[in-house]
């Protein structure tokens, strides 16, 4: 992987970019799942910003780095609600849809009160699939040590990647690969680390990233770095209350650790610690109070 700048250490504020999806999540916690044509009463409701890049940025900001989200929120009421939540948690925003009222995604989320498992229905970025940024707009932003791409806005992801690749020093590129998307064919070969779920599969024709991290739910995380070192990192057994955004928390913490100069093994250990903390708390943001002092 490219070298982290020499002046970056554990006590130096660094900047991480998180380029990708922002949604507004409407989250209901329920003791039962509804059947066809059935209504049920939730035991809890939360509304917060969501999306892989946005949630990872919230985690990173809480961990003490300068977290800059490059996304599309727009000036409509949905975007305003998401923006308020993100800014309240320390995330800086570059809005590629600034001044435009766009049909930003609203995600319907159900969390099982007994198991903490979540189900999500969302249009993701399909309603705003022409979002992009220019090199000139990115020039005005603080230089990143790490850039995380989630691939949800394909044009934006390609443009941010091209810009980051041309920077000196070049930042580390982390790819959040939860589900296969065609844009990953253009991203993976440039990524220093692809963090993927266990069921993620890329076509054989796609160039691999320099290093990989694979999560397996409650089972150990596997990793392989650019030098061919590989291993597993155990996941502690905890009381799981809410799994919503656990993967995003993992990716945010991974990006922060890499930005501060950790090798891949140490970065995975930190990401596991943070994700394991997240699942122990009910609600999308309540866990952050415990993260900041962990």
**pLDDT tens digits, one per residue of 250-261:** 999 999 999 999
Banded model confidence at residue 238, pLDDT cuts 50, 70, 90: very high
For residue 72, give Cα distances in angstroms to 39, 54, 130, 146, 160: 33, 11, 10, 20, 14
**What pLDDT is stored for residue 10 in this prediction?**
45
- Stated as kind and residue range, the H or E segment containing 148 is strand 146-149
Under a CB-based contact definition with an 8 Å cutoff, are residues 28 and 110 in contact? yes
Banded model confidence at residue 294, pLDDT cuts 50, 70, 90: low
Banded model confidence at residue 6, pLDDT cuts 50, 70, 90: very low
Q: CA–CA separation, 294 vs 274, rounded Å?
A: 9
pTM: 0.93
Average pLDDT score, the chain: 93
- Stated as kind and residue range, the H or E segment containing 25 is strand 23-30
pLDDT at 5 over 90: no
**What pLDDT is stored for residue 293 in this prediction?**
58
DSSP state at residue 236: -
For residue 104, give Cα distances in angstroms to 37, 258, 289: 27, 31, 28
**What pLDDT is stored for residue 127 in this prediction?**
85
pLDDT at 76 over 70: yes
């Amino acid at each position: 992987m490219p070298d982290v700048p020499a002046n970056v250490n554990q006590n130096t504020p660094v900047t991480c970019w998180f380029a990708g999806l922002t949604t507004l999540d409407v989250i209901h916690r329920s003791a039962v799942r509804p059947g066809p044509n059935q209504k049920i009463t939730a035991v809890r409701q939360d509304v917060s910003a969501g999306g892989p890049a946005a949630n990872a940025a919230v985690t990173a900001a809480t961990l003490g780095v300068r977290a800059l989200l490059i996304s599309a929120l727009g000036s409509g009421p949905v975007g305003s609600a998401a923006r308020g939540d993100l800014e309240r948690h320390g995330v800086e925003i570059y809005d590629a849809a600034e001044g435009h009222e766009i049909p930003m995604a609203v995600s319907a989320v159900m969390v099982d009160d007994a198991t903490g498992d979540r189900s999500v229905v969302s249009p993701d970025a399909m309603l705003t699939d022409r979002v992009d940024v220019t090199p000139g707009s990115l020039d005005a932003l603080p230089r990143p040590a790490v850039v995380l791409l989630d691939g949800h806005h394909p044009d934006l992801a390609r443009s941010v990647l091209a810009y980051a690749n041309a920077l000196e020093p070049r930042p580390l590129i982390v790819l959040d690969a939860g589900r296969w998307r065609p844009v990953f064919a253009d991203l993976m070969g440039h990524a220093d680390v692809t963090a993927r779920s266990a069921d993620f599969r890329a076509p054989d024709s796609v160039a691999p990233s320099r290093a990989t991290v694979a999560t397996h739910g409650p089972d150990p995380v596997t990793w392989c770095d650019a030098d061919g070192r590989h291993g597993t990192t155990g996941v502690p057994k905890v009381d799981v209350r809410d799994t919503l955004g656990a993967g995003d928390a993992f990716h945010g913490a991974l990006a922060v650790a890499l930005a501060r100069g950790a090798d891949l093994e140490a970065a995975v250990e930190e990401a596991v610690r943070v994700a394991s903390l997240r699942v122990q708390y009910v609600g999308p943001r309540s866990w952050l109070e415990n993260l900041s002092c962990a």
